[in-house]
Structure 1
Amino acid sequence: MKRFRMVMAVLLLGAAGLPAPAVAAPADYDIDTASSLQVVVNKQRPLDPATYVPSALVRVTGLKVRAEAADAYKKLSRAAKADGVAITLVSGYRSYAQQESLYNDYVRQYGQQVADTLAARPGFSEHQTGLAVDIGNPSGSCALAECFESTPAGRWAAAHAEEYGFVIRYPKGSGEVTGYSYEPWHLRYVGPALAKEFELSGEATLEEFFGLPAAPDYN
């Protein structure tokens, strides 16, 4: 099991143009164990076991999510509502079998090459960890589409997701690293500490943050 100790991140006081005191990143993160909140899953890092099922799944608006991510999502959606923005949960946990069905459906529709940019193969999906959520607008506008970024829910999530322990896992322009098209609706819960360090690091992806190889394709 690999563990990573992150180096110090530095905040710049933009208004004054002076460096602020460094913010230490003292924690070690387990990015290999399937049950870890910080597990990194991608096309070259499958879940172990491939049929892994989280032990603490709860229901949020009818969808299953791991308990820690569910609590964080509820806080996020309440905060958004207080700001006048409604956010709805579109997708949460998917089992190995559900992911297999979804992936095969994409293959039938678009062919395997395109399908691999849109959905993970079973055993390689963040949704199977129970820590990933897809969000949307109650109206359904720009659901699971790039234009979601310019909707009220998309803009609010981009500005505030980190405050609740989430990161946008598949950012724009990072397909050569993640292997997936831009998904502004796909939030991955990693916990408040890592989310803050990730934000301060300026890195676009978890792969780059942890110094992992890019994973655009399956081995």
Structure 2
Amino acid sequence: MRIKKTGQALTVLLLLFAFGCSGAQQTVSPVASQSPASNTNTDAAGEAGDTAVQETSGTVDDLLVVANPTAAVVLVNKQYSLPEGYEPQDLVYPDVAFTFTEKIDKRMLRKEAADALEQLFAGASGDGIQLAGVSGYRSYDRQKTLFDNYVKKDGEEAARMYSAFPGTSEHQTGLAIDVTGADGKCAAEDCFAGTPEAGWLADHAWEYGYIIRYPEGKDSLTGYKYEPWHIRYVGKELAKELNEREITLDEYYNAVPVSEKR
């Protein structure tokens, strides 16, 4: 009997050990199945942090080439360039007033930005502000022509303060547009600052997913002088965050002061 009891006890202990090991395996297996890539999506840049990371795919002419040119939150500036030959595939004509009537390239924007622009213009109109588009999408070739002309007129150093080097223009993304008042006065000119239209944009553009891309007093960070007429679509979530924190897109990506770049 003593030997039988000892054998039964040993059997129980072995069973308990087996179930215990099985339980331990069930506990750790979910952890092992987690993917380390779950936090690497930068298209929703910086949702949980103070700054975001701009993914790049290489360099050209000492500029970093962005890897996500189609993302609404993409950073394009004097440090980051669009890929060679980039052209948005979803350009449309927004149903808003422009300072001209022709259906040409600079009247177009990417679909998401165009839809948001229509809402922005409607919101402004509801507040008694009448806006008009001046210049939206701009191809690489068109930007090169403009930049070269500005360099001939004012010299390269001065031109770089108000015109983008080809491949680094926000207009090429199809997400940026210059706007003015319905009368067309002060279109893309310094006199636009201080107008009711400029004031409305500064106060309300973010509500529609747009930001004043080159705000006053930030030229050492953006590399461009104050342009109250130049608005850039980044989506409502990011526009709200940038507005609340009073920072530029460059600061959001913790980019180096672009005045040191092109």
Q: TM-score range by the shorter chain?
A: 0.7 to 0.9
Residues of 2 paired with 1:50 and 1:182: CA distance?
28
Offset of 1:151 from its aligned partner? 1.3
Offset of 1:79 from its aligned partner? 0.9
Match in the other structure for 2:259: 216
2:221 maps to 1:177 = yes
Q: Residues 2, 180 of structure 1: CA spacing in aligned structure 2 closer, same or farther, 3 A cutoff?
A: farther
Residues of 2 paired with 1:211 and 1:197: CA distance?
15
Match in the other structure for 2:212: 168
- Aligned with 1:150: secondary structure? coil
Residues of 2 paired with 1:29 and 1:178: CA distance?
17
Percent identical pairs in the alignment equals: 42
- Aligned with 2:230: secondary structure? strand
2:97 maps to 1:53 = no
Unaligned segments of structure 1, at least 5 residues: 10-24
Residues of 2 paired with 1:94 and 1:81: CA distance?
26
Between Structure 1 and Structure 2, the one with more helix by share is 2
Match in the other structure for 1:71: 115
Match in the other structure for 1:13: none
Q: Alpha-carbon deviations, 1:28-78, whole Å to 9, x = none?
A: 88664111100000111011x132100100013531111111001100001
Offset of 1:149 from its aligned partner? 2.3
Aligned pairs (5 A) from 1:39-188: 39-47=74-82, 49-60=83-94, 62=103, 63-188=107-232
- Whether the 8 Å CA contact 1:46–1:123 is kept in 2: the answer is yes
Offset of 1:7 from its aligned partner? 4.7
TM-score, normalised via structure 2 length: 0.71
Offset of 1:8 from its aligned partner? 6.9
- Whether the 8 Å CA contact 2:54–2:253 is kept in 1: the answer is no
Structure with bigger gyration radius: 2
Aligned pairs (5 A) from 1:17-36: 32=66, 33-36=68-71
Q: Alpha-carbon deviations, 1:94-143, whole Å to 9, x = none?
A: 00001001111111111111110011011000000000010001212222
- Whether the 8 Å CA contact 2:137–2:172 is kept in 1: the answer is yes
Residues of 1 paired with 2:77 and 2:257: CA distance?
9
Residues of 1 paired with 2:200 and 2:69: CA distance?
29
Offset of 1:217 from its aligned partner? 4.1
Residues of 2 paired with 1:196 and 1:183: CA distance?
20
Match in the other structure for 1:199: 243
Q: Residues 117, 82 of structure 1: CA spacing in aligned structure 2 closer, same or farther, 3 A cutoff?
A: same
Unaligned segments of structure 2, at least 5 residues: 1-39, 56-65
- Aligned with 1:89: secondary structure? strand
Offset of 1:6 from its aligned partner? 4.2
Match in the other structure for 2:46: 5
- Aligned with 1:167: secondary structure? strand
Residues of 1 paired with 2:153 and 2:69: CA distance?
30
CA RMSD in angstroms, aligned pairs only: 2.1
